[in-house]
Amino acid sequence: MTTRANRTRFTDIGAAALALCSCMLLCGCASQNVDGCRACSRNMATIIPEGSLTEFAWLSGTWVGEAEDAFTEEHWMTPRGDVILGMNRVSGGAADGFFEVLRIENRPGGVYYLAGPTGRCPPTEFRLIEQSARRAIFENPKHDFPQRIEYKREGDAMIVRISGQQNGRAAESSWTWRKTAQNDEAISPQG
């Protein structure tokens, strides 16, 4: 017989396990040593977000595109708990196997976009500098490249642009993705 106290205890244990797994995923700790994971856990505890990110709901969904023999998919979850989680994966082309763990969070001092290429811990932070109904620009002038990341939604298309200085020269790359259903066969590069 399961009592209410036991159900609550199991729920608390499940929530703790989910939080640990999320930390490992968001910081890439699964590929780090144990000390690196402890450092990420301490960092995660200091960045509990405040406020609301519902104005970024336009970003939610699965976005796909093909360019130069590479298939890219980026998925953003609906804002919940004042955090938006995302991930990006590339298959084929020169960047085959590339993945990135992403999140947007609201915390004291502003809204930040955190990018963890190949699960890097800690992720690189970009501060929101401009926002409109379906556009957001994040910036980190101290980062090697990119220094700016821009997301702009036009209907069922997402235009993503990275830009900045690279090797002493202005550089920019952009992608246009289309929105698709998460479980739609269209997200398969063979589909």
Give the CATH number of domain 54-187: 2.40.128.20
How do residues 111-130 score in pLDDT, each as one tens digit?
999 999 999 999 999 999 99
Domain boundaries, the chain: 4-45, 54-187
pLDDT mean across residues, the chain: 79
Of 124, 129, 96, residue with least CA distance to 110: 129
Look at residue 158 in the predicted model and tell me its pLDDT.
98
Look at residue 189 in the predicted model and tell me its pLDDT.
53
How do residues 73-101 score in pLDDT, each as one tens digit?
999 999 987 799 999 999 999 999 999 99
- pTM for this prediction: 0.73
3-class SS of residue 110:
strand
Of 146, 118, 98, residue with least CA distance to 32: 118
Label residue 69 left, alpha or beta by phi (over 0 means left) and psi (-120 to 50 means alpha).
Answer: left
